[in-house]
Every structure is written in structure tokens, then in C-alpha cells.
Structure 1
Amino acid sequence: MKLAKAAASLDERLAALSEAADLAEGRLDRQLVERARAVAERAGARRNLSVDHTAVALAGATGSGKSSLFNALAGCDLAEVGPTRPTTSAAQAALWGPDGSGPLLDWLDVPLRHVVGDGSGLVLLDLPDHDSIVSAHRLEVDRLVGVVDLLVWVLDPQKYADAAVHERYLKALGRHRDVVLVVLNQIDRLPERAVKRCLDDLRGLLADDGLEGVPVVGVSARTGQGLSELRVALDRKVSRRAAWASRLAADAGAAADALAGPSAGTAPASVSRADLARPLSRALSQAAAVPLVVESVAKAHRHRAVAATGWPLTRWLRRLRPDPLRRLHLTRGPGTARTSLPPPTAVQLTAVDTAVRDVGEAAGGGVPEPWASAVRHAARSRAAELGDALDRAVAHASLGASKPPRWWKAVGVLQWLVTAVMAAGALWLLALFALDYLLLPKPPTPTAGRVPWPTLLLVGGAAAGVLIALLSRLAAWIGGRRRARKAARALRAAIGQVGEELVVTPAFEERSRYARFVERVTSAG
């Protein structure tokens, strides 16, 4: 039951590592990303092999007595022993049943295999010397050290403090304390009182390497001293059948640490998108000539109002003037491809570039490099699309200029009525003038007080038409301001959407990617 829980936890950690590697693609060093993926892939392969066998590697330097120890543990002479030069050119395995280790050894690519006992499931590997003068031997050691379930480092009294093994191998195993044993071989060459001192000194060096608490066993392959203690330590590790899972978990943790780097566990502080979007929207509005469009909406409203409600005798003059919105190609509806707005000035373009960079800087606040650079790049990644997007946003924004107010029609009808009254008065007076010119008798002319009705109709109609036109202009000015405010709100919303879609959202998606990466790396570690 415990093993099942450990395996489930391992699955979660490896899935988190794999996702973290995917998130880091193109952001972090390629070798780190590939290493993390390799760990996840290797784990999948190892879990499909026998968990009843534990691959234990004996690794050490030339002259450490590693092969002698291998023979002593196997109980027979399997490895050739040489006192001064490397004799192990290829890894070989000693097997303690049960059967079924073949696929594991095939995966490890260890062709030399010897069955020496039954029962425990131990697969003991004798590796070439890690300091061999033959580069192929060193590469073989590096390969197997990276994949075996349990590592036994064999050191000798003369070179146990050698920087080569500590710097190249042991310090890199800080995450692998549960799957590392250290053997100080050839203790028979030391005075008895010096053995403890050497073991204590070695433990101190291992603590400096990050391996504090790792079992350290003093042995002599030649005399057999300490071998029973080493066998007990190996049996304890092997019998649990969990070294493979501990190794994979340690690999996942080490790969996660490498991915995280100095930023391990650093989640970005919260940043308000609205606070970032406001300065950007202001800069984009200026570049998109929003003030000009808003002013044109007000002018167009007044222009059309005068054309619809002005004095019929003079309103035709208004129709000769160009409509401010039509001049900007802002009255052709949703199908409008391009407007005729003036291009942004150099100052406006600089302001937009600065605002975009500010969004990237602010969104990347609290995010370590190189992720902060990725956030800044994401903010600028679609900057080339801003010009066309702003133009489309202005062209498609609802400016409220297409539907004339209903009172225009009513006032237009009223203007024609008073014009008809004026015309009636003019025709009446013209008829009276004609009768008088022809010396014909004139009919009696009604009056309003002392003013004849024809004169009253003519003058009153003209005065009423002018007064209605003036009042209509005042109403049009007020309505123009109101429509300009509504258009400004619609334009700000449209421009804000452009900035959100092309600048803010890409930056925050990258920021969220980093936050998810931190979460996954933390889970993998």
C-alpha cells in the first residue's frame, strides 16, 4: 500500500515536471528543458520494467578497489582486478534472482551478466573507472550513474578527498541522498585508530557536498572487514523495492531545481490589469485620432441638424458643405475597410511605444529573468498590428451618428409649415399688387389690428422660420456634445479592447505561464 502511494506521488511529480518543461520551452536554456523531459521519459521507461529488481552500481576511481569489492560481494571472481591501472572496460552485472531482470539490463545496456545467487532481486553493476584515461569509459560511467536505481561510491583512503569525484559527481547528488551509499575501501591499509578519523573526515566532506546523513561504510575487500555491514545496508535498500522510485523522484527534484534556478518558489506579485491598461489606452487614443473623431461627431451632428431643421430658404447652403464624418470615411458602416484619419505623428508613435514598454515592464515586475524578458517581449509581440487594429476599431465603433433624432423630422415639418405660411402671405401681397397695377378693384383685405393679414403672414412666417432655426441650432449644439460624449465612451472602449487584446493579454498570458511554471516546478520538486 505504501509503495502504491509513493508511485502515485511520483506520477504527479513527473507529470508536473513534464508540464514545467513544456512551459519553459523557448524561455529557459534548451539543455535544462531537454534534461527535464529526459527525466520524465526515463521515468516512464523505468516504471515499465521490473520493480522487483534494484540496479545498484559500484562507481569509483582507478585503484579504489571497486572491482575487488564487486568480486567480494558476488562471492566469486567475476571482474579482472588490477592494482594501478583501469581494468574494467565495460560494465558487468552480478544477479541475485528472481528471474526477469533481462529487460532491465537490456534497458541499461549491460551485456555481461552473471547469476550468483537467489532471492533478493539485487542487480550489482561494476562500472568502469570514472577517471579512466579512455573517454569511452568515462562516458559509460556518466551514462549508468544517471540511470541506475542505487549508487555506491567506492573511495579509497588516498583519494577520498579528491576534488574530481566530489565536484563532478557527489555534489550533484544532493537530491539523491536516499539512493546513495559511500564506501571507504581498503581500510586494512590504515592503522586502526586512523579508520574512524578518515570516516569522520569523509562524512564531513559529504556534508559539504550536500550529502549529510548518507550511509558511509568502511570496508576491506581484501580482508572482508565491513562487508557484512555493507551487505546489510544494501539488503535494507533492496528489500524495500522502492529505490527505483526514490531515484526517479530525486531525478525529478534535481531537474526541477535546475529549471527553477535562483527563482525557485518565487511567485509573481499581483498586478492590476486596469492600472496598466489606462495609460496605454490614452496613448492609443491619441494615436488613433480619437479627439479628432469625437470633435467630428459633434460637428457632424450639428451639420446634419442644421440641414434637417434649418430655414428651408437657406438650408441648401448647408448641404453644400462636406459632412465631417463622411470626410473621414466614418459613415460607411461595419464594412468600412479603412478610414481617412490622419496617421499618428512621431510624438504619438513614441508615446505608444513607451506605453507598450511600460506594460511589459509592469507586467514583468516581480518575475525573474529570463521570464521577465519573455513577458516584455510578449507585450511587444503584436505591436506591428496596432495601427490597423486601431483604425478598424474606430471605423467599427458605434458613434451614434447614423440615426437622426426624431425631433429633427418634426421641426423640419414645422419649418415647411411656416414657410408655406410665409409663401401664402407673399402670394397674397403679390396678387394685391397685380390688381393695383392693373387698376382693377381690390377685394377688402382683412387685418390683425392695423397690420394686413398678408403682411403678417409673410413677415411672421419668415421670423418664425428664423427663430425655429436658431432654437434648433442651440438644441443641435447640446445634442452634439451629448453624442460626442457617447462616441468618446464607445471609442475608448474599442481602443481599450485593442490594447487589451494586443498588448496586455499577451503580457499577462506570459506572466500566467510563469506562475503556472512555478507551481509545476514546486510540485515536481
Structure 2
Amino acid sequence: MTTVTTPRPGLSSRLSALSKVVELGPGRLDPKLMSEAESLLLRAGDRLKLSSEHTVVALAGGTGSGKSSLFNAVSGLELSPTGVRRPTTARTHACVWGLEGAAPLLDWLQIQWRHRFARASALDKGESQLHGLILLDLPDHDSIRALNDNEADRLIGLADLVVWVLDPQKYADASTHRRYVTELAGHEAVTVFALNQADRLSTEELAELVIDLNDLLRREGVEHPTVVPTSAVTGRGVESLKSVVAAAVSRRRAAIQRLEADLRKLEQRMTAAMPVGEALAIPAAVDEARKMGLVDALCDAVGVPAVGEAMENIYVERSNRWVGWPFPRWADRFRPDPIKSLRLEDVSDEIKGIAAGTVTAQAAEVTNAVQALAEGLSGTMHPVWRSSLHHAARSRLGKVPSALTEDLTQVAPQLDRVPAWWRLLKAWQYALVAAFGCGVLWLLLGLLIPGALPPALELMGDTAALPWAALMTVSVLGLGALSGIASRNFVELGASRERERLEREMRRRVAAIAEKMVVEPVERELARHHAFYTAMRGLSS
């Protein structure tokens, strides 16, 4: 019966975190680390689907280390060829204690059928403690044949537990230690060192070599090495090696421990490349204060306050043509036109001309505003993420000025619009002017033309009404002046409100463009940054 390896909750969550890192890492994490992470995820997924009742133990070593002889000694059969031919083992051989359910695992290991051997009678020989063992005799890792060398490296990476077979002459071989041993830090639970050919050494020499090998391994980062002296010729230490292997097999945890060790090693390298540190303190979204600062800067870049002020000034000046008391307005015709002196005859066209002038000239201010936002958010980021955030902030920067111009043109005030109350007030004021004119004419006729006075006085009752008529005429003039002053105050109040409405609407549109073209890309990158480092922290949980 085949069972599937179930990872511990810690391993499962860490593999999920690694998967998230791989998902979010492209372009940020070193491609070599990404490749190794992807390989580890693939290997972990495959291994955890296969039998948990079997433990893959690989005998690895260099040419002449006696690896195949030790393989035969442990299996109790002459399964792997031995001799002086270099390399002796051309293909991986496998001996299985308990064949049931092992076939898919052997297929995954790519062990050829003719090189698979079963110990069907293992239980009858008192070796029940090895039930579930798949023992591999790998090709020499220093083989002169590239094919064998690659196969050895591949299976060393796939095995649940690796037994390094070292000989007394080459146990400190630099190539072995440089290529493999230095990578074993943290893998003590799934790594064993067999100092083979112990029969060639005296007791004292063997003790010295064991001490020296232990010291060498510790210097290279293997804190608690397991060293077993063996001799395939005399059988010395073979049972000890079997006991070490049997202990790993019986626990049924070597596969999990190997994955945990590989994951821990990869996590250390990733953390060295991308330290978590205070990275998670960086917000996953742009705060409101920064958004407001960006909008303020963009409003200044497109001249929103200037447009609002110009609109207010022109609104007031144009109102004089309608609601101002006519007599001062007529007098103004003999003075220079302040509107023309300000060159504000057609503010609507000027506002709509932002695209042709102001925005293009102030594109640098838009760039500075976006750059300031990115700098404020990425100050403590890793350089790779800082660069990515700046790229995200600038991803649509070239279109921001034209988008602002295009959108703000749609809210340019209609300065040729005349409110209805202006027209009514103008009619009222001209009626007062007419009344004043009639009163003046009446008085002039009564005072200067005696023949015309009696009919007029008949309407008033007697000549004593003449001063009252003069007072009424002057009152009409005062009423007109007061209505002009009052209407101007109302106009100024309306102009202020119109300016506020315009600036509010323009700011709203600027904020919408900033959100869509700057803030959203930045927040996507911030969310990715936060999720990446959350996953990185999850790797070490």
C-alpha cells in the first residue's frame, strides 16, 4: 500500500510562502535564486506525492572511495560492480527493502529497471529495521564522464539522506568539500559521513583521522557531523552505518527533514539578498497625507489657483457692464479698459489654452511631484524594490500632463454666460436712469420755460410741489447708486463662490487623474512589496 508523505504544518506553510515569493519575485529577486526556488518547489511537490513509507538513501563519493563495495556490504548482496576500472559505477544501482509502493518513487528517481534490486527476504534476515529503505549506489561525483557526473549531482539533490563515502587518502579533497560539503550546513540530520577503508589504518591513525575530519567539517559549517568509520573488506562499522540509516528509515521523516534543510538553506540565502528587516513597516498603500501632497503639487503644476483667481477677477470686471450703475460705467469709457490692460479679454480661451502653453512648460513640475511621492515611500526600501517603485510611479508619467490639460479644459468657466438677475438688474437700473432723466427734464421745464410750467404744476397741485419733485429726482439717483453698490457686493460674493466651485472641481479632477495614473500603479507595487516580504517572513516561521 502506497501512502503519500504529509508535510508538517510548518513545512506546508513555508512551502506556500516560498511559492508566493516565486510568484512575486521575478524582476526583484536574483534569477539564480528564483530558479533554485522553483526547482525546490517542484521537487517538494513531487516528493510529497510519493511514498512516505520509503526513505531514499544515496551513497555518494569519489572514485576509489569504496562506495560500491560499501553498498554491497550494506545490502548483503553483490549488486554493484567493484574493481579498479575508472569509473567503476556507470549507472545508479538501487536496492529496495520492501518493494511494494516503491516503483513510482524509483521512476521519479529515474532508476533503470535492470538496476533495481529487491530484498524480498529482508524481514526473514532480521533486518526489519531497514524495511522501507531505498539504497542508491551513485556514480562517482568526480567521474571523467560528464553523464555520470550530472547523474550523481541530480540524485544527491533528490535523495532524502546522503551518505558521503570518504577514503583516508582523499577525505579532505578540496573539490569534494568545495562542491558539496560547504553546501551541507544545516543538513546534519540528513547527512552522514562514512570514513571508509578503515582497515588500512591503525587504531591510532583512524582516531586521528576521525578527529581531523570532524574538525574540518565543523570549520566548513557542519556543526554536528555524524562520522562513521567503516570497512567494506572486514565489515567493520557496517552495522553501525546500518544502525544510523535504520534510525532514519524507522522515523519516516528523512524526506521531510531534507526538504526542511533545503528550504532553510535557500531561505538564508534569500534573506541575505533581501533582508526582511523593517521592510514590513513600509505601508502597503499610499496614505491620505501623501495623496493630498501629490494633488496639491499637481494643482500647482497646472496653475489651478491662478486659473481660479483669473476667473474671479474677470467675473467681477464683466459684471460692471451689467450691474454697475450706468453713470460711472459711462465715465469709464473715457479711461483705459482695465481688462484690456490685464490682457484678460478672453479668459475662457486662455484657460482652454493650458495645453498649448502652461502644462508643457510645467511638465517638469509634474515629474517633480511624482518623484517626490516615490522618494517619500521608497526611502528605506531595498534598492531593487526602490527602483521598481520609481518605475511604477513613472509608468504613466508621460501622459499625465496631457491628461490633466484635457480634463481641466472641460471645466473651463463659461465667462460669456450672463446670469438672469444681471439682466433684470440692468433693466431696473436703466428704468431708474430714465426716471432720473424725466425728473431732471421736468424740473428744467418748470424752471427755465415758464410756458411749460403751469400744466406740469396742475398735476402736482401747486408750485410748492416743485422742491419735492427735485428731492424725488435726487432720490432716484441715490437709489440707483445704492443698487449698483449692493449688486457689486453680490457679484463679488458670487465670484468668490464660483472660484471655489471651479477650484474644487478642478482639484477633484486632478485627484482622479493622480489616483488613476500615479497612485494606483504605486499601490500595486507597494502591495507586491508587502506581500513579498510577508512571504519572506513566512519562510522562517
- Range of TM-score over shorter length: 0.7 to 0.9
Q: 1:15 is matched by which residue type in structure 2?
A: S
Name the counterpart of 1:515: 530
Task: Decide which of 469, 473, 479 is 2:484's aligned counterpart.
Answer: 469
Contact 1:267 1:518 in 2 (8 A): no
Task: Decide which of 367, 370, 390 is 1:353's aligned counterpart.
Answer: 367
Given the alignment of the two structures, is residue 131 of structure 1 paired with residue 142 of structure 2, yes or no?
Answer: yes
- 1:62: Cα distance to partner? 0.9
Deviations 1:436-461, CA, capped at 9 Å, x for gaps: 989676331648965363x5555543
- 1:372: Cα distance to partner? 2.1
Which stretch shows the higher mean deviation, 122-131 or 391-400? 391-400
Task: Decide which of 256, 277, 289 is 2:267's aligned counterpart.
Answer: 256
- 1:147: Cα distance to partner? 1.3
Deviations 1:286-308, CA, capped at 9 Å, x for gaps: 32122321212312432454455
Name the counterpart of 2:64: 63
Q: 1:293 is matched by which residue type in structure 2?
A: V
Which stretch shows the higher mean deviation, 440-449 or 120-129? 440-449
Contact 1:24 1:33 in 2 (8 A): yes
- 1:186: Cα distance to partner? 1.2
Deviations 1:253-300, CA, capped at 9 Å, x for gaps: 333334333333323244674554465444422321223212123124
Name the counterpart of 1:242: 253
Name the counterpart of 1:334: none
Which stretch shows the higher mean deviation, 377-386 or 129-138? 377-386
Q: Map 1:414-425 onto structure 2 (within 5 A).
A: 414-425=425-436
Contact 1:203 1:212 in 2 (8 A): no
Task: Decide which of 256, 270, 295 is 2:309's aligned counterpart.
Answer: 295
- 3-state SS in 2 of match to 1:370: helix
Quick one: distance in 2 between partners of 1:289 and 1:27? 38
- 1:427: Cα distance to partner? 4.5
Q: Which runs of 5+ in 1 are unaligned?
A: 331-337
Q: 1:451 is matched by which residue type in structure 2?
A: P
Given the alignment of the two structures, is residue 502 of structure 1 paired with residue 517 of structure 2, yes or no?
Answer: yes
- 3-state SS in 2 of match to 1:93: strand
Q: Map 1:406-445 onto structure 2 (within 5 A).
A: 413-427=424-438, 442-444=455-457
Q: Which runs of 5+ in 2 are unaligned?
A: 123-127
Given the alignment of the two structures, is residue 211 of structure 1 paired with residue 222 of structure 2, yes or no?
Answer: yes
Given the alignment of the two structures, is residue 15 of structure 1 paired with residue 16 of structure 2, yes or no?
Answer: yes
Given the alignment of the two structures, is residue 394 of structure 1 paired with residue 408 of structure 2, yes or no?
Answer: yes
Given the alignment of the two structures, is residue 86 of structure 1 paired with residue 102 of structure 2, yes or no?
Answer: no
Contact 2:194 2:229 in 1 (8 A): yes
Name the counterpart of 1:366: 380
Quick one: distance in 1 between partners of 2:291 and 2:464? 68
Quick one: distance in 2 between partners of 1:72 and 1:443? 147
Quick one: distance in 2 between partners of 1:27 and 1:512? 14
Deviations 1:191-245, CA, capped at 9 Å, x for gaps: 2112222122222222233221132211111111111111011011011112112
Which stretch shows the higher mean deviation, 225-234 or 354-363? 354-363
- 3-state SS in 1 of match to 2:59: strand
- 1:520: Cα distance to partner? 0.9
- 1:375: Cα distance to partner? 1.8
Quick one: distance in 2 between partners of 1:383 and 1:475? 43
Q: 2:530 is matched by which residue type in structure 1?
A: A
Q: 2:39 is matched by which residue type in structure 1?
A: A
Q: Map 1:101-116 onto structure 2 (within 5 A).
A: 101-111=102-112, 112-116=115-119
- 1:60: Cα distance to partner? 0.8
Quick one: distance in 2 between partners of 1:424 and 1:386? 58
Contact 1:257 1:264 in 2 (8 A): no
Which stretch shows the higher mean deviation, 201-210 or 274-283? 274-283
Name the counterpart of 2:43: 42
Q: 1:465 is matched by which residue type in structure 2?
A: G
Deviations 1:89-146, CA, capped at 9 Å, x for gaps: 1111011114121111111101120112445110011111111111111111111111
Quick one: distance in 2 between partners of 1:192 and 1:358? 73
- 3-state SS in 1 of match to 2:359: coil
Distance verdict in 2 for CA 1:220–1:296, change over 3 Å: same
Q: Please report the TM-score for the alignment, with normalisation by the length of structure 2.
A: 0.83
Contact 1:281 1:495 in 2 (8 A): yes
- 1:419: Cα distance to partner? 2.8
- 3-state SS in 2 of match to 1:261: helix
Contact 2:443 2:466 in 1 (8 A): no
Quick one: distance in 1 between partners of 2:532 and 2:23? 9
Name the counterpart of 1:344: 359
- 3-state SS in 2 of match to 1:100: coil
Contact 1:421 1:457 in 2 (8 A): no
Q: 2:65 is matched by which residue type in structure 1?
A: S
- 3-state SS in 1 of match to 2:247: helix
Distance verdict in 2 for CA 1:110–1:398, change over 3 Å: farther
Q: 1:146 is matched by which residue type in structure 2?
A: G
Quick one: distance in 2 between partners of 1:159 and 1:402? 97
Given the alignment of the two structures, is residue 196 of structure 1 paired with residue 196 of structure 2, yes or no?
Answer: no
Name the counterpart of 2:153: 142
Q: 1:34 is matched by which residue type in structure 2?
A: S
Name the counterpart of 2:390: 376
Deviations 1:475-525, CA, capped at 9 Å, x for gaps: 433543454355445544543454344334433432332232122122224
Q: Please report the TM-score for the alignment, with normalisation by the length of structure 1.
A: 0.85
Name the counterpart of 2:467: 451
Distance verdict in 2 for CA 1:173–1:355, change over 3 Å: farther
Identity of aligned residues (%): 35
- 3-state SS in 2 of match to 1:451: helix
Name the counterpart of 2:125: none
Question: CA RMSD for the aligned pairs?
Answer: 3.6
Deviations 1:333-366, CA, capped at 9 Å, x for gaps: xxxxx965733365x3334333333332332222
- 3-state SS in 2 of match to 1:131: coil
Which stretch shows the higher mean deviation, 415-424 or 285-294? 415-424
- 1:428: Cα distance to partner? 6.3
- 3-state SS in 1 of match to 2:383: coil
Which stretch shows the higher mean deviation, 276-285 or 200-209? 276-285
Distance verdict in 2 for CA 1:397–1:12, change over 3 Å: farther
Task: Decide which of 178, 181, 197 is 1:170's aligned counterpart.
Answer: 181
Q: 2:135 is matched by which residue type in structure 1?
A: L
Quick one: distance in 1 between partners of 2:503 and 2:219? 67
Contact 1:415 1:468 in 2 (8 A): no
Quick one: distance in 1 between partners of 2:38 and 2:44? 10
Quick one: distance in 2 between partners of 1:238 and 1:9? 21
Contact 1:187 1:218 in 2 (8 A): yes
Name the counterpart of 1:385: 399
Which stretch shows the higher mean deviation, 379-388 or 468-477? 468-477
Q: 1:443 is matched by which residue type in structure 2?
A: A
Deviations 1:360-384, CA, capped at 9 Å, x for gaps: 2332222223222212222222211
Name the counterpart of 1:95: 96
